Amino acid sequence: MFHVKQFTNITDYKFQTADSKNRKDKIMKIVAISNQKGGVGKTTTAVNLASLLAFYGKRALLVDIDPQGNATSGFGIDKIAVKGTIYDVLLDKTPVKEVIVKSGVNLLDIIPANINLIGAEVELVTVLSRETLLKKALAGLGNAYDYILIDCPPSLGLLTVNALTAAHSVLIPIQCEYYALEGLSSLMNTLDLIRGNLNPSLEVEGVLLTMYDSRVGLARQVADEINKFFKEKVYKVVIPRNVRLAESPGFGKPIILYDCHSRGAKAYEELSEEFLKRNAEVFKFPVALSSRKEIALIAAGALPARTDKEN
Ligand code: ATP
Ligand code: MG
């Protein structure tokens, strides 16, 4: 275990080469990041957890399935200029592999989304098995990734149903505030419905407390309630309210490239370690010097984000 604060500058960050290319037997894991409540930290968690999984040498794909396209723009990707989005995939206009773009973080790819996706719910009304479109599309990727994270919109509509049907598990970020628990029963009901009809083995990957402010007594109470309810499913790490986390999307960078010394970076780093441990992953840190240099240069703006396919 190590912490961001131990590093002095971005070049200290040791991005790895894929450590799992030889583990052909290992099946990729798909995790939906979902909570129908808006603004609870879904996208922040998706962007930063995906970046850190890649940092740890996991081949990662982030699927943006929210018409707001915040995960897409969080990496500085122009939502409108992209060649294709998840919308084109769901509507069977473009094969999934053709819409994948590089994120600028080594080993992390993205399937972008934009406002077109708003039309999908209506356009898909007459399509058969419309709940399983994403699942089928991601199956087309074979074993190309170790982890696929899906950033869900703040609703329990068809897009979220597609994500929960495609996923092995759901990670639920919860903001520590008064109304935090209110919508959770509808999310739990939705999970039960999905398990009953579309995806019997869907698990809760974990529950993440976000935007925690220890100075606010209420935050502690809400955290206690959530711990009582979800027990060991709650991650030990709590994401603090941290202004650097809020700033980083404006610069089109995950927190580890924006400010690797911030409390937010450290918290998401701890989350990724907990996440990997829960998934029985073993850590190792051989450093790929070329990627390390490259990431530093990208972070410094001296290199454009990678567009080639090699890692
Ligand atoms: P939506 O439901 O609209 O998709 P969301 O659940 O994806 O929202 P985010 O977009 O991740 O939530 O976060 C909402 C806002 O709060 C954003 O402006 C984000 O930058 C900010 N934010 C997220 N996490 C933190 C944090 N730990 N500290 C400070 N600001 C944060
Ligand atoms: Mg979001």
Q: How many domains does the chain have?
A: 1
Residue 196 makes CB contacts below 8 A (sequence gap 6+) with none
Q: Is residue 56 part of a domain?
A: yes
Q: What is the pLDDT of residues 43-101, one digit of tens each?
A: 999 999 999 999 888 899 999 999 999 999 999 999 999 999 999 999 999 999 999 99
Please report whether residue 116 resides in a domain: yes
The pLDDT-based confidence of 310 (bands split at 50, 70, 90) is very low
Residue 308 lies in a domain: no
Q: How far is the CA of 241 from the centre of ligand 1 (A)?
A: 10
The answer to the question of residue 185 being in a domain is yes
Confidence of residue 200 (pLDDT cuts 50, 70, 90): very high
Q: For the domain that residue 133 is a member of, what is the CATH number?
A: 3.40.50.300
- The overall pTM is greater than 0.85: yes
Nearest atom (ligand 1) to Cα of 248: 20
Q: What is the domain range of residue 293?
A: 4-299
* Domain-embedded: residue 165: yes
Residue with the smallest CA separation from ligand 1 atom 8 is 39
For the chain, strand residue ranges (E) read: 29-33, 60-64, 101-102, 108-111, 147-151, 169-175, 203-210
Q: Is 132 inside any structural domain?
A: yes
Q: Which residue has the higher pLDDT, 133 or 25?
A: 133
Residue 69, domain member (yes or no)? yes
Could you tell me if residue 162 is inside a domain? yes
Average pLDDT over residues 216-243: 91
State pLDDT tens for residues 236-263: 999 999 999 999 999 999 998 998 889 9
Atom of ligand 1 nearest to the CA of 247: 20
Which of 36, 44, 70 most suits a substitution to test ligand 1, by most atoms within 8 Å of the C-beta?
44
Residue 288: how many other CB atoms lie within 10 Å:
19
